[in-house]
Structure 1
Amino acid sequence: MEKPVISQKGPMAVEVKKGETYYWCACGKSATQPFCNGAHQGTSFAPVSFAAQENETVYLCACKHTKNPPFCDGTHNSL
């Protein structure tokens, strides 16, 4: 089983806009972290889409091991 690349051991704070759809990088290879740029091509990974429910700051997982993708759940503390 492939393992994702850890882009950072901590969350990434991102400003999102209500109604916009975002694509979180699940593989860790994207140069546009925490968002997908297609670098997962040829792997078993796929981006995770989510729609912002309001204008706010969200904390997206950068270690790619969260149990609540795309959001950080603190798993990076045990890596």
Structure 2
Amino acid sequence: MSEPVVAQKSPIPVEVEAGKTYYWCSCGRSKDQPFCDGSHKGTGFTPLAWSADKSATVYFCACKHTKNPPLCDGSHKALDD
């Protein structure tokens, strides 16, 4: 599998709703970041389903290198410019 596209080097804050499922873009190609729009087709990447356990602001990873997908873990800070 190839490396994902870095959509941006900072997390994307999203107000999530308890009980709702979100589909995080793992390839970085989606125009609807941080969520999947189907742009991964043919890349070997697939979206990751994530369900909110409570309503809150969540910081989704946009660099696609997090070790805690789909949430930001600060991995973007170690990426080359």
Do these two structures clear the TM 0.5 threshold for a shared fold by scoring above it?
yes
**Counterpart in 2 of 1:18?**
18
Q: Does residue 6 of the first structure (1) align with residue 6 of the second (2)?
A: yes
- Which amino acid counterpart does residue 26 of structure 1 have in structure 2? S
Q: Deviating runs (4+, > 3 A) in structure 1? A: none
Q: Does residue 59 of the first structure (1) align with residue 59 of the second (2)?
A: yes
Q: Does residue 29 of the first structure (1) align with residue 29 of the second (2)?
A: yes
TM superposition score normalised by structure 1: 0.98
**Cα distance, 1:15 vs. partner?**
0.5
Structure 2 counterpart SS, 1:77 = helix
**Cα distance, 1:4 vs. partner?**
0.4
Distance 2:55 2:72 in 1: 18
Structure 2 counterpart SS, 1:50 = strand
TM superposition score normalised by structure 2: 0.95
**Counterpart in 1 of 2:49?**
49
**Cα distance, 1:54 vs. partner?**
0.7
Structure 2 residue runs of 5 or longer lacking an equivalent are none
Q: How many residues of Structure 1 are paired with residues of Structure 2 in the alignment?
A: 79
Structure 1 residue runs of 5 or longer lacking an equivalent are none
Distance 2:13 2:30 in 1: 17
